[in-house]
Structure 1
Amino acid sequence: MRSKKIGVFIMLFISVAVLSGCASNSGPIKSETSDGFTIVTSFYPMYVETINVTKDVPDVEVINMTQPQTGCLHDYQLKPQDLKTLAGADAFVVNGAGMEDFLADVIKQEKNLKIVEVSEGIDLIKDESGEDNAHVWVSISNSIIQVKNIADQLSELDPDHAAAYQSNAAVYIAKLEAEKEKMHASLDAVSNRDIITFHEAFPYFAKEFNLNIVDVIEREPGTAPSPKELEDTIKLIKASNVKALFAEPQYSAEAAQTIANETGAKVYSLDPGVTGEADESADDDYLKVMDSNLKSLEEALK
């Protein structure tokens, strides 16, 4: 009998050790004994907005679910690691508007997880196929709405820190408003407003600053345009006054450069702000991206 008990104890000990070993290699999973409030964000723009709302709030942890280099979540497939991370979360901050195609699977798997969908109240733009364009955060005005939504919904979920969330949101929104005002002061007087972008990330940005997107080089990111599409874009540029092509730092600019070589147009950069390092230094990343975008537009259009 004693030998059987010892055998059972050894098996239990081995099981615990194995499970502990798996946890140590499984990434940012909330400890089951944690008394804090854990927030998971779906991708980098949501992470930047959320860490500004939760800045210096005690016992609140923010984890970005996807790799900061993932970019937009086009066709992103949930990994077992993602579900483990979400299992330890108190709230999941998502862009919504169709960006996270996997959201239905998350809701099905984690029925008690609180979803903070931050694009609520934003007027969505339809793309050519009639689907909602989800890149709402690229507009500063929309980013402000998202920050307000994050603060309001976190305040409901974690009322002990509601005052801090609202105060942080007000500070960050003031910075966003100042950035928007600076960009408008520079861009509102520009006469040439025709641009060609890399993919469908910039309709809200263009609406914000009254820019006219004449054409999009790649409708689906990562999918090279066909020879016919390249030819059509080249003809369009030659027949118009478009002088600027805007590629994104997250993708190869090969197609844009090919068009530029054939037309004499120049290639510049516009960044939708979807990549970066998910750490405390990321709080000003969106503002830095907008500063960089402003410099590109000033050089291209003035």
Structure 2
Amino acid sequence: MKKGKLLRTLLITLSFSFILAGCSNGTANTTEKTQTTIVTSFYPMYIFTQNLVKDIPGVKVENMTEPQQGCLHDYQMVPADLKTLERADIFVINGAGMEAFMDKVIKQRPALKIIEASKDMKLLKDANGEDNAHVWVGISDAIQEVKNISEGLAKSDTKNAEAYRKNASDYVKQLEAQREKMHKELDGFKNKNVITFHEAFPYFAKEFGLNIVSVVEREPGTEPSAGELAALIDKIKSSKVKILFAEPQYSAKAAESIAKQTGAKVYLLDPVVTGEKNAPADSYIKTMDENLKVLVKAFKENQ
């Protein structure tokens, strides 16, 4: 009799264990199916995508790289990046050659949905004849990238397609208003000759009529040789350019050294490539507002 009771108790316990296990697995699977994880390659793509997923339940955005990483031209992926991509349903990249590691991503995750923000856009060339990837720095080009990301998300996550498109429409209106505001304040200046420290601003220059007379470093960290530096100083003196834009992401010491030898003045212009972790969705517009203040000051002082 005792043996029979013991057997029944054991069977009941096992039954409850299977039921609980089944419930647990069912819950996990449901969560997995309803959650969409979008991973972005770096800071500006994160900001744009944040605006597009606003208020959409079950959609999460993660940035793969640290927000202070900056441009990804020569970036080497680390194990943490691959771990982040393992969680991704969709990967949003800038494209245009910015993410040089994409072959590795495709090899690791061949079925991963990839959205290229600069797809089918007309790209400017750098001094070496290669595509300039800093598309997002020009506001009109940023608007097109936002539209491209939105359409990519709508096709990849069809149940939320209309929400992505509505959010894109709202954000594009904000970007258009910022562009109009900047044109209103900048278009009246006649002398817009400038020197930039890197190749980050051609799209921005095209947008607002800046004339980039020369670039100090074609790539961050590739300092000009003594001969190149001397030629640059001569060019600045002969062209009488008084505005030298450095970037807050890099040391301004070299720019200040050039300024001392040429009489140019150093100002900081931000290519919106770095920012705080979990940066708010309006970060791009706020940075452009700061850039506007810098530009107005620089042009007023050097007309």
Q: Do these two structures clear the TM 0.5 threshold for a shared fold by scoring above it?
A: yes
The answer as to 2:163 corresponding to 1:160 is no
Please report how far the alpha carbon of residue 33 of structure 1 lies from its aligned counterpart in structure 2 after TM superposition.
5.5
Q: Report the Cα offset of residue 32 of structure 1.
A: 11
TM-score (norm 2): 0.87
Structure 1 CA distance for aligned equivalents of residues 40 and 266 of structure 2: 33
Q: For residue 284 of structure 1, what is the amino acid of its counterpart? A: D
Equivalent residue, structure 2, for 1:28: none
1:73 aligns with 2:72: yes
In the alignment, residue 234 of structure 2 is paired with which amino acid? K
Q: Distance in 2 between matches of 1:241 and 1:262?
A: 12
**How does 1:188-203 map onto structure 2 within 5 Å?**
188-203=187-202
**In structure 2, distance between residues paired with 1:32 and 1:231:** 65
> In the aligned structure 2, how far is the partner of 1:72 from the partner of 1:198?
14
- Determine the C-alpha separation between the residues in 1 that align with 2:232 and 2:290: 26
Match of 1:298 among 276, 281, 296: 296
Would you say the 8 A contact 1:96–1:117 is kept in 2? yes
Contact persistence 2:46–2:62 (CA under 8 A): yes
Task: Return the alpha-carbon distance in structure 2 between the equivalents of residues 175 and 103 of structure 1.
Answer: 31
Q: Which amino acid aligns with 2:113?
A: K
Per-residue CA deviation, residues 250-276 of structure 1 (Å, 9 max, x unaligned), is 001111100111111100011110111
Amino acid at match of 2:66: Q
The one-letter amino acid of 2:241's match is V
| Offset, 1:243 | 0.6
Greater shift after overlay, 77-86 or 39-48? Answer: 77-86
What does residue 276 of structure 1 align with? 275
Write the letter of the residue equivalent to 1:285. Answer: S
Residue 238 of structure 1 corresponds to 237
Cα displacement string for residues 103-150 of structure 1 (whole angstroms, at most 9, x for unaligned residues): 111011101100000101311011111110000000000110111111
Shift of 1:229: 2.0
Distance (Å, rounded) in 1 between the aligned partners of 2:209 and 2:120: 21
Q: For 1:243-258, list aligned pairs within 5 A.
A: 243-258=242-257
Unaligned runs of 5+ in 1: 1-30
Q: Aligned-pair RMSD on alpha carbons?
A: 1.4
Give runs of aligned pairs for residues 1-302 of structure 1, distance below 5 A: 34=32, 35-279=34-278, 281-302=279-300
Number of residue pairs aligned between Structure 1 and Structure 2: 271
Following the alignment from structure 2 to structure 1, what is the Cα–Cα distance between the partners of residues 270 and 88?
Answer: 30
Q: Percent identity?
A: 61
Post-superposition shift, 1:240? 1.4
Give the residue type in structure 1 aligned to 2:257: T
- Whether contact under 8 Å (1:276, 1:282) holds in the other structure is no
Q: Is the 8 A contact 1:64 1:278 kept in 2?
A: no
* Alignment partners' CA distance in 2, 1:155 and 1:56: 15
**Cα distance in 2, alignment partners of residues 123 and 301 from structure 1:** 29
Which residue identity does 1:78 align to in structure 2?
A: M
**SS of match in other structure, 2:152:** helix
In structure 1, how many angstroms separate the alpha carbons of the residues matched to 2:56 and 2:100? 31
Q: Which amino acid aligns with 1:190?
A: F
C-alpha distance after superposition, 1:38-79 (max 9, x if no partner): 000000000000000001110100000000000011200011
CA contact (8 A) 2:241 2:264 kept: yes
Once residues 112 and 151 of structure 1 are traced to their aligned partners in structure 2, the CA distance between those partners, rounded to angstroms, is 20
State the Cα deviation string for residues 201-253 of structure 1 (Å, max 9, x = none): 00111011111100001112022222222211211111112110000000011
User: Structure 1 residue runs of 4+, over 6 Å off?
Assistant: none
Secondary structure of 2:62's counterpart equals: strand
2: CA distance, partners of 1:226 / 1:286: 34
Deviates more, 1:152-161 or 1:171-180: 152-161
Alignment partners' CA distance in 1, 2:151 and 2:262: 49
Contact 1:238 1:263 (C-alpha < 8 Å) held by counterparts: yes
The structure with the largest alpha-carbon Rg is 2
Alpha-carbon distance in 1 for matches of 2:44, 2:242: 30
Compute the TM-score of the two structures, normalised by the length of structure 1. Answer: 0.87
**Structure 2 residue aligned with 1:20:** none
Distance in 1 of aligned mates of 2:252 and 2:229? 13
Contact 2:73 2:97 (8 Å CA) reproduced: no
- Report the Cα distance in structure 2 between the residues aligned to 1:251 and 1:296, rounded to whole angstroms: 17
The whole-number CA distance in structure 2 between the counterparts of 1:192 and 1:232 is: 23
Q: How far 1:160 moved relative to its partner?
A: 1.1
Partner of 2:4: none
